[in-house]
Structure 1
Amino acid sequence: MSLFFVHIPKTAGTSFRKGAERYFSPERIVYDYGANSDATSPLVKKFLYDDQPDFWQFKQSLNNPAMIAGHVLIARFASLWGVGNTITFLRDPLQRIASEYEHFVRHMNYKGSFKEFYSDRGMRNRQRRALYGVNLEAIGFIGLTERYSESLEMLNDRFATRIPEREDNQGKPRLEDEYEFDEEDLVELRKLNRRDIELYQYASALFDSRYEMFKSNQPWAHACLVEATTESVSGWAWWAGERDAPLEIELLVNGELASTVRAVEFRQELCRLLPPRGGYVGFNLPVKLSPLDTVQCRVAATGQRFPPSPRRIEETVK
């Protein structure tokens, strides 16, 4: 099994990468930090930064790496390594961008102001762009910078590793220290990074749910309520890890058990991410509901609820 690490800048990724190097050894990690980066592995440059990149030949040329990592979008390697083996860390978006600004000033001789930096279109919503096109619920593991110790505890348990905790490449004396913002910057930052803020809030709710299951010694299910209308409820679910058994899903309407279904239907749109069971992980329930109702699903075997909060029914468009 090889891991794919989406290293989003200034999310404790360097600490994780250095810890992984110590555990796996640097020779077993393949890096993709861009064509001009000294850190990028030779095979990456040979196969992926040519006139005609050949991703399949690239993978075939590797000798059982423990991990591939880099400042790349999740879509770059998820179809080769599988979404279940994909990991990343997220951070409070405003803290992350302040940290990245300081990094640019210290290490890249950036001369612009903080406002000029965060106003640049390329610096907005960077976490969402890195994970675009993949549901958070499907990703093998999402850690939080602010809860790095707990994240590493769960990650090591999930992948049977012992990656040590480190604190590298920090702009502040301590990871838990927070940057402070002027009110004008705060308002503008929140407006420009609204999608990242929403992403982080949802990821935090998923993290809380997963950590609760972890502490209760219960298996985690990657599970998503995709659609909930007045006529049907649908989604997908599978066990984290190597378990291949289908999940039984309970539908809760206004907090009450309404129906059960097995997640065994084919979800073609997931197949590019190499989900388990060949993509036969979906469920669909015909229902009769009103826009005033709320729905939530529950994994019958463990009680895990998804989404983390009940969702109000959407009006069906005729």
Structure 2
Amino acid sequence: MNNFPLFFIHIPKTAGSSFRVAAEQYFGSEATYFDYGNGSKETHPDILKFEYESKDRYLAAKSIKKNAKFLSGHVIYPKYAPFFPAKSVVTFVRDPAQQVRSHYEHFSRLHGYNGSFEDFIKENRFANMQSKALNGIWTDAIGFIGITERYNESIALFNKYYGTDIKVLDINKNTAKASGTYTFTERETSLIKKMNAKDYALYDYALIRFELHKELLEKELPLVRFGQMNILPKDKGKQLNIWACCYEQEEALEADIIVDGQVVEHVKLSDYRALASERNIHREGYIGKSYKYPDTFREGQAVKVVEKQTQIVIFEDVVS
């Protein structure tokens, strides 16, 4: 599949400026579109014309898909979601406390914010900014999630996966800051964790995923994406409902269902999931599997689903 154009969700203060400038240098200004709002000089003329003047996002996206290889903006995923396959969606995430403090410093310097840091933390509009930006897409379906604290590694991984040669740049930093990281009082840390619980969950997940994707690419194994889908509370521990796919292959993934270490069934993840189709995940939505535990499964037994090619555990449960 063609990876381009890429849709870069530029979350504020996550090293996104360095990445987007490096991407523009690589792809060329003619093939790089920006959407930083109606009042921004950086926003592409076609986006200004169609998105902000004509109020016709479809035509804006049509121009992007025809002419661009890279779209970047302080926008949330749903804005352009219908026009991009999930593999083409990319972003960076950052330790939430560092992101919050950096955003506060930026807002104070450039946007006239007069409140205290504690005031800033308590404002809902500044809370969970990273997870808000990605709302609407299954986290593991996102094509690439870079880690700000591991920026050089992230660029190397990005280039390996997408076959690009984007350079490492280091721009738009707060030069008044003495060290590389901010420090916090216990009260500040507690408040940040309370107000940004979803961002902490996202960041922890992204770190685990980063290591997994790095390992798979180094071993030249398929980059498997997977996750759980909703089941009713009464069905938990009694059945599974999962999705999994690999963007680099058209065939459905296969997996073993293992109970207490013994393979009990082979399954193919090829059931239709409307949500996966709507969100352009892969295979037009045919990436799911539902499985009701048979009566032979006993309470307390451990259930695992292991993808065959990589031997990755893509689901774990306990029979209840």
Q: Fold match, TM over 0.5? A: yes
Report the secondary structure of 1:219's partner residue.
coil
- Please report how far the alpha carbon of residue 40 of structure 1 lies from its aligned counterpart in structure 2 after TM superposition: 1.0
Partner of 1:178: 181
Map 1:1-318 onto structure 2 (within 5 A).
1-50=4-53, 53-62=55-64, 63-171=66-174, 177-227=180-230, 229-241=236-248, 243-254=249-260, 256-288=262-294, 289=297, 292-306=300-314, 310-312=316-318
- Please report how far the alpha carbon of residue 272 of structure 1 lies from its aligned counterpart in structure 2 after TM superposition: 1.9
- Please report how far the alpha carbon of residue 259 of structure 1 lies from its aligned counterpart in structure 2 after TM superposition: 2.5
Report the secondary structure of 1:49's partner residue.
helix
- Please report how far the alpha carbon of residue 134 of structure 1 lies from its aligned counterpart in structure 2 after TM superposition: 1.2
Q: Return the alpha-carbon distance in structure 2 between the equivalents of residues 290 and 9 of structure 1.
A: 49
Q: CA 1:291 to 1:20, structure 2 compared with 1: closer, same or farther past 3 Å? A: farther
> What per-residue deviation string (whole Å, max 9, x for no partner) do you get for residues 35-85 of structure 1?
1111111111111123x6222222223442011110001111121012111
Tell me the amino acid that sits aligned with residue 82 of structure 1.
P
Q: CA 1:255 to 1:32, structure 2 compared with 1: closer, same or farther past 3 Å? A: farther
Tell me the amino acid that sits aligned with residue 153 of structure 1.
A
- With 208-217 and 79-88 compared, the bigger mean Cα shift is at 208-217
Tell me the amino acid that sits aligned with residue 110 of structure 2.
H
Q: Are the equivalent residues in 2 in contact too, given 1:146–1:176 (CA < 8 A)?
A: no
Q: Are the equivalent residues in 1 in contact too, given 2:140–2:225 (CA < 8 A)?
A: yes
Aligned length: 310
Q: Are the equivalent residues in 2 in contact too, given 1:238–1:247 (CA < 8 A)?
A: yes
Tell me the amino acid that sits aligned with residue 76 of structure 1.
K
Unaligned runs of 5+ in 1: none
Q: Are the equivalent residues in 2 in contact too, given 1:4–1:67 (CA < 8 A)?
A: yes
- Please report how far the alpha carbon of residue 132 of structure 1 lies from its aligned counterpart in structure 2 after TM superposition: 0.9
Q: Are the equivalent residues in 2 in contact too, given 1:227–1:233 (CA < 8 A)?
A: no
Q: Are the equivalent residues in 1 in contact too, given 2:276–2:284 (CA < 8 A)?
A: no
Q: Are the equivalent residues in 2 in contact too, given 1:261–1:285 (CA < 8 A)?
A: no
- Please report how far the alpha carbon of residue 186 of structure 1 lies from its aligned counterpart in structure 2 after TM superposition: 1.1
Across the aligned residues of Structure 1 and Structure 2, the Cα RMSD in angstroms comes to 2.2
Q: Return the alpha-carbon distance in structure 1 between the equivalents of residues 206 and 45 of structure 2.
A: 34
Q: Return the alpha-carbon distance in structure 2 between the equivalents of residues 165 and 77 of structure 1.
A: 27
Report the secondary structure of 2:107's partner residue.
helix
Q: Are the equivalent residues in 1 in contact too, given 2:9–2:91 (CA < 8 A)?
A: yes
Q: Return the alpha-carbon distance in structure 2 between the equivalents of residues 150 and 255 of structure 1.
A: 35
Tell me the amino acid that sits aligned with residue 113 of structure 1.
S
Tell me the amino acid that sits aligned with residue 260 of structure 1.
H
> TM-score with structure 2 length normalisation?
0.90
Tell me the amino acid that sits aligned with residue 20 of structure 1.
A
Q: Are the equivalent residues in 2 in contact too, given 1:230–1:290 (CA < 8 A)?
A: no
Q: CA 1:221 to 1:172, structure 2 compared with 1: closer, same or farther past 3 Å? A: farther
Q: Are the equivalent residues in 2 in contact too, given 1:15–1:166 (CA < 8 A)?
A: yes
- Please report how far the alpha carbon of residue 34 of structure 1 lies from its aligned counterpart in structure 2 after TM superposition: 1.1
> TM-score with structure 1 length normalisation?
0.90
Q: CA 1:311 to 1:152, structure 2 compared with 1: closer, same or farther past 3 Å? A: farther
Q: CA 1:252 to 1:147, structure 2 compared with 1: closer, same or farther past 3 Å? A: farther
- Please report how far the alpha carbon of residue 176 of structure 1 lies from its aligned counterpart in structure 2 after TM superposition: 8.5
> What per-residue deviation string (whole Å, max 9, x for no partner) do you get for residues 159-218 of structure 1?
111111111112268999221001111111111111111111112111121112122221
Q: Return the alpha-carbon distance in structure 2 between the equivalents of residues 151 and 312 of structure 1.
A: 35
> What per-residue deviation string (whole Å, max 9, x for no partner) do you get for residues 275-310 of structure 1?
322211111222145664444432201112325xx4
